[in-house]
Structure 1
Amino acid sequence: PKWQWLALAVVLVGYWAAFALYPLPGPNFDYASAGATPNWPYNFTGFAAHWNKNTNLAWAFDRWFLNLFRSDKSFLFNGGGYATLSFIPTLGTMILGLIAGGWLKGGGTGWSKAGWLALAGVAGLALGIAADSYGICPSVKRIWTPAWTLFSGGWCFLFLAGFYAVMDVMQLQTWAFPLRVVGMNSIAAYCMAALIHPFIVGTLRTHLGSDVFKVWGEAYEPLAIGAVVLTVYWLILFWMYRRGIFLRI
Structure 2
Amino acid sequence: MAGLQALGHNPVIDTIVYQLGHTPWQGLRYYDLIWPSFMLMTGMSLPFSYAKRSLTQTHGQIFLRVFRRALALFLLGSIRESVNLKHPHLVELSSALQPIGIAYFCAFLLVRKSWRFQAAVGASILAGYALLLAFVPAPGVPAGSYQQGTNLVAAVDIAVLGRTHEEGWGTVLSTIPTIATTILGLLIGELLRSDWPQKSQIRIMALVSVSCVVLGLAMDPIVPVIMKLWTTSYGLASAGWACLLFLAFYVVVDVRGYRKGTFPFVVIGMNAITVYMGRTLVPLERIVDIFTKGPAAAVGSFGPLFQATAVLGVEWLILYWMYKRKIFLAA
Q: Which residue of 1 aligns with 2:124?
A: 10
> What pairs with 1:127-138 in structure 2 (closer than 5 Å)?
127-132=215-220, 135-138=221-224
How many angstroms apart in 2 are the aligned matches of 1:22 and 1:224?
51
Alignment match of 2:154 (pick from 59, 62, 69): 59
How many angstroms apart in 1 are the aligned matches of 2:281 and 2:234?
27
Describe the shift of the 1:121–1:212 C-alpha distance in structure 2 as closer, same or farther (beyond 3 A).
same
How many angstroms apart in 2 are the aligned matches of 1:210 and 1:57?
51
Describe the shift of the 1:141–1:210 C-alpha distance in structure 2 as closer, same or farther (beyond 3 A).
farther
Structure 1 segments of 4+ aligned residues over 4 angstroms from their partners:
213-216, 223-226
Structure 1's unaligned 5+ residue stretches are 30-46, 68-74
Q: Is the 8 A contact 1:81 1:142 kept in 2?
A: no
- How many residues matched? 216
Q: Is the 8 A contact 2:288 2:311 kept in 1?
A: no
How many angstroms apart in 1 are the aligned matches of 2:149 and 2:325?
47
> Alignment RMSD, CA only?
2.8
How many angstroms apart in 2 are the aligned matches of 1:120 and 1:242?
38
Q: Which residue of 1 aligns with 2:320?
A: 238
- Deviations 1:61-107 (Å, cap 9, x if unpaired)? 1111123xxxxxxx3x4212341222111111111111111111111
- Counterpart residue identity of residue 325, structure 2: R
- Deviations 1:138-163 (Å, cap 9, x if unpaired)? 11112211111111111111111111
Q: Which residue of 2 aligns with 1:42?
A: none
TM-score by length of structure 1 reads 0.76
- Deviations 1:83-140 (Å, cap 9, x if unpaired)? 12221111111111111111111112222222221221111111111111xx221111
Alignment match of 2:268 (pick from 166, 179, 182): 182
> What pairs with 1:1-249 in structure 2 (closer than 5 Å)?
1-23=115-137, 50-67=145-162, 75=163, 77-83=164-170, 84-132=172-220, 135-196=221-282, 199-209=283-293, 212=296, 215=299, 217=301, 221=304, 226-249=308-331
Describe the shift of the 1:130–1:226 C-alpha distance in structure 2 as closer, same or farther (beyond 3 A).
farther
- Counterpart residue identity of residue 21, structure 1: F
- Secondary structure of 1:79's partner? coil
How many angstroms apart in 2 are the aligned matches of 1:226 and 1:89?
35
How many angstroms apart in 1 are the aligned matches of 2:185 and 2:247?
13
Report the Cα offset of residue 211 of structure 1.
9.3
How many angstroms apart in 1 are the aligned matches of 2:297 and 2:231?
36
How many angstroms apart in 2 are the aligned matches of 1:214 and 1:147?
48
How many angstroms apart in 1 are the aligned matches of 2:148 and 2:192?
38
How many angstroms apart in 2 are the aligned matches of 1:208 and 1:169?
42
- Counterpart residue identity of residue 168, structure 2: G
How many angstroms apart in 2 are the aligned matches of 1:4 and 1:225?
46
Describe the shift of the 1:228–1:153 C-alpha distance in structure 2 as closer, same or farther (beyond 3 A).
farther
Q: Which residue of 2 aligns with 1:37?
A: none
Q: Is the 8 A contact 1:114 1:162 kept in 2?
A: no
Q: Is the 8 A contact 1:181 1:238 kept in 2?
A: yes
Q: Is the 8 A contact 1:118 1:161 kept in 2?
A: yes
Describe the shift of the 1:213–1:139 C-alpha distance in structure 2 as closer, same or farther (beyond 3 A).
farther
Report the Cα offset of residue 214 of structure 1.
9.6
Q: Greater relative contact order: 1 or 2 (C-alpha under 8 angstroms, separation 6 or more)?
A: 2
Describe the shift of the 1:2–1:246 C-alpha distance in structure 2 as closer, same or farther (beyond 3 A).
same
Q: Is the 8 A contact 2:288 2:310 kept in 1?
A: no
